[in-house]
Amino acid sequence: MGDDYLIVDDDQLFAETLARSLVRRGHTARIALDGPRALALCRQQPPRRIILDLKLEHASGLQLIGDLRQAAAGTRIVVLTGYSSIPTTVEAIKLGAVDYLCKPASLSDIVGAFERDQGNPAIDLPASPHSVDRLEWEHIQRVLAEHDGNISATARALGMHRRTLQRKLQKRPVRG
């Protein structure tokens, strides 16, 4: 029998599709669409592996990592997100996630992320530095994390109107 997974993602369709794929591979999979449900499921029956979305509807996945690790000691967590940034990657690992993957990620990539215990020193380095737009995205994410996801406080810190910040956060991160 495969491993027991808990998928924590507020996108129900995505979570159900991922759960079906895991079940087809011989694993068990449960779904939590929010943090409180994820914690309740962990306390009832701790999973071996948690796939955690970074951007949940009412919370940051980063804020859940510590509570999930406490509720399910020994559980391995992989953060999966469409809103990747260097600061959130670093924080996720510091908080105890074993890996951080950008959507879209294949099922093999996700399952494989739980297997790796060491980094890859041979990973390809980017050919050029990040674009100005990407650097702006990274800075916004860092300031947002410093203000615990509070949009108004982040907008004040950035000297930006709250609606402007919200529009920028609605967009996908800039590549490169």
pLDDT digits (tens, 9 = 90+) for 44-55: 999 999 999 998
| Mean pLDDT taken over the chain | 87
| Domain limits for position 162 | 132-170
Q: pLDDT digit string (tens) for 28-81?
A: 999 999 999 999 999 999 999 999 999 888 888 999 999 999 999 989 999 998
pLDDT at 48: 95
Domain assignment present for 176: no
Mean pLDDT calculated for residue range 167-171? 80
- Residue 125 — pLDDT band, cuts 50, 70, 90? low
Question: Number of folded domains in the chain?
Answer: 2
Mean pLDDT calculated for residue range 6-15? 94
Q: Are residues 160 and 90 in the same domain?
A: no
Give CA–CA dist 173/176, Å, rounded.
9
Q: Are residues 53 and 26 in the same domain?
A: yes
Report the half-sphere exposure of 160 (CA within 13 A, side-chain side): 20
pLDDT at 76: 95
SS3 per residue for 7-65: EECCCHHHHHHHHHHHHHCCCEEEEECCHHHHHHHHHHCCCCEEEEECECCCCEHHHHH
What pTM was estimated for this model as a whole? 0.72
pLDDT at 120: 62
Q: Are residues 15 and 68 in the same domain?
A: yes
pLDDT at 1: 61
Residue 32's domain is classified under what CATH number?
Answer: 3.40.50.2300
pLDDT at 175: 62
Q: Are residues 85 and 154 in the same domain?
A: no
- Residue recorded with tokens 């615990």: 148
pLDDT at 64: 94
Q: pLDDT digit string (tens) for 11-31?
A: 999 999 999 999 999 999 999
Q: Are residues 26 and 66 in the same domain?
A: yes
Q: Are residues 90 and 20 in the same domain?
A: yes
Q: pLDDT digit string (tens) for 99-121?
A: 999 888 889 999 999 988 766 66
